[in-house]
Amino acid sequence: MAEISYINPLSEEGKRIIHEYGDLNQLNQEDDDLVNIIIHTQNQKISDDSIIPKTYKDLAINRIKWAIEKKNNKNFVNQEYEYFFNQDIFEADVIAFHILCQAIAIQFNVTSRETRMFIEYQGKLIEERLSKIAPSLRYQIIDDILRDISTDGSIKWTSLKDVISSKKLSLMQLLLDDGEIILEKEEFLEKYGNKFDGRPADKIYDIIVGQKLKELILSRLIMQNTEEYIKRIKEMSKHVELHPFIIELAEELKEMIPEEIGKYNTFYAGSGGIYGTVKGGKLVPEAFPPCIQNTIDGVSSGGRNDAIVLLLTSFISYARLYPSIFGSDEPIKVSDIDTDLSITENEILPLIYEAADNCSPPLFDDQPQEKLNIISKLGFGLHSEINLENEGETKWYTPMSCEKIKMHLPQLCKEDKSCKGLNNPLSCYGRRKYQIDKNKKEESS
Ligand code: SF4
């Protein structure tokens, strides 16, 4: 029988393991028991010594590497991480999970890509672990954990409202009766057993509820609880200093994550922010397309507000942080790239405010509220300053297309040959930048 904490590290059993572990300094020491478990794991690939984590800290780092590789590496070899599916690892894994939650909480924003990836892959780890347990034992452990999580023996859909609102689970996936989720076969048969003419009700149960839904609810609840746990640690870390080992691990994650992702995704490789400066890097004003240069030079009262708040704010922020937005379908936030918002504070906002000042009359003189709108278009809600706590209250507004600019701000569009065949100023900026680089190379050679 698998231990409960092998699936739910936040269980009482998981807390007891942490409590009994004691001194965090030993996390850096080689642990023979851990190595033994790993080398005796069935199907474990050990062709290379570096595959085997020797310390609990290595194990924690490898948990993150597993998630990154699984997500990005097309040639991912599961057997290199087979030990994560050996039930004997449960105690070491519970400790790795908890120290990672602490390091992530102090290093990253709760809504950052890094935290989201950690939580998402905690869910995937649970699902994969469950799938490797024999069905009868699996059903039993799922029931035990669900009973453990639900306080009064039943699960009401309202207890899942956070999971549903975070889109980790859809209300459409649940079978509800008077606000309660029908999960047990006996309950289903009692309520609906005589409602299906000519079709066995237990087969219908397997189709519309079944074990799969229980597994899904279980993994989503643990993901939700992990997120809340990280939030609590973050809050607590404002008042209590965490152990130096956790701070060291947090620093290591900050370096390691972009490095590892960069191996598989050159788009994210680079420096300056957890996902690198992307291809954008420092702004090249000479490459700004005519509409942007005209906006920076100052706009008269006619289209002032739209030019600064809608056109320039989105253009400058994406050109600096994420110029390939139109080639990506992943949701992205400013802090995914500019983790401490220093680029936004020191490079992006000053340029926008300067352009606002160049307007005639200066935009903020008679409309100071437009500052709030600029912050809101960067995704930080209607506030006077950017703050990680508010990120996500609004969406990071994507750059306007040439078509829209021509329609709403025709005085700014002075199309030239660099705009030919393109449909937004960002592409035009990319083309001009490329041309400038090429010219420089030719000149120097
Ligand atoms: S064509 Fe597009 S990029 Fe070029 S100036 Fe007009 S709006 Fe700007």
Question: What are the structural domain ranges in the chain?
Answer: 4-268, 285-444
What pLDDT, in 10s, does the model give residues 77-87?
A: 889 999 999 99
Distance from the alpha carbon of residue 419 to the mean position of ligand 1, in angstroms: 6
Atom of ligand 1 nearest to the CA of 414: 5
Protein residue closest via CA to atom 6 of ligand 1: 413
The alpha carbon of 292 and the centre of ligand 1 are apart by a number of angstroms equal to 8
Q: Whose CA is nearest to atom 3 of ligand 1?
A: 425
Tell me whether the omega of the peptide bond preceding residue 361 falls within 30 degrees of 0, making it cis. Answer: yes
* CB of 402 shorter than 6 A to ligand 1: yes
**Residue minimizing CA distance to atom 1 of ligand 1:** 415
Burial of 321 (C-beta count, 10 Å sphere; 0-12/13-18/19+): buried
Q: Which of 67-76, 168-177, 281-290 has the lowest mean pLDDT?
A: 168-177
Q: Which residue, chain included where needed, has tokens 């490898």?
A: 62
pLDDT at 159: 63
pLDDT digits (tens, 9 = 90+) for 341-357: 989 998 999 899 989 98
CB atoms within 10 A of CB 247: 16
Cβ atoms within 10 A of the Cβ of 53, count? 23
Confidence of residue 104 (pLDDT cuts 50, 70, 90): very high
Angle at 160 between CA 203 and CA 133, to 5 degrees: 50
**Tell me, what's the pLDDT at 204?**
80
Q: How many CA atoms lie within 13 A of 210 on its CB side?
A: 8
Average pLDDT of the segment spanning 101-116: 86
| Cα(161)–Cα(171) distance, integer angstroms | 9
| Amino acid occupying residue 388 | L
CA 419 to chain centre: 35
Backbone φ and ψ for 378, nearest 5 degrees, come out as: -85, -5
> Could you tell me the pLDDT band of residue 386, with boundaries at 50, 70 and 90?
very high
pLDDT tens digit string along 194-217? 777 777 877 787 777 777 778 888
Q: Which residue owns the Cα nearest ligand 1 atom 2?
A: 402
Question: How far is the centre of ligand 1, averaged over its atoms, from the C-alpha of 352 (Å)?
Answer: 19
Q: CA 346, CA 272: separation in Å to the nearest integer?
A: 14
Q: What is the pLDDT of residue 155?
A: 63
Read off the pLDDT of each residue in 100-124 and give the average, rounded to a whole number.
88
Measured from the Cβ of residue 82, the count of other Cβ atoms closer than 10 Å reads: 17
Q: What is the pLDDT of residue 66?
A: 95
Instruction: Assign 259 a pLDDT band (cuts: 50, 70, 90).
Output: confident
The answer to whether the CB of 319 is under 6 A from ligand 1 is: no
Given a cut of 70, is residue 50 above it in pLDDT? yes
Return the pLDDT at 308.
97
Question: What is the reported pLDDT for 189?
Answer: 82
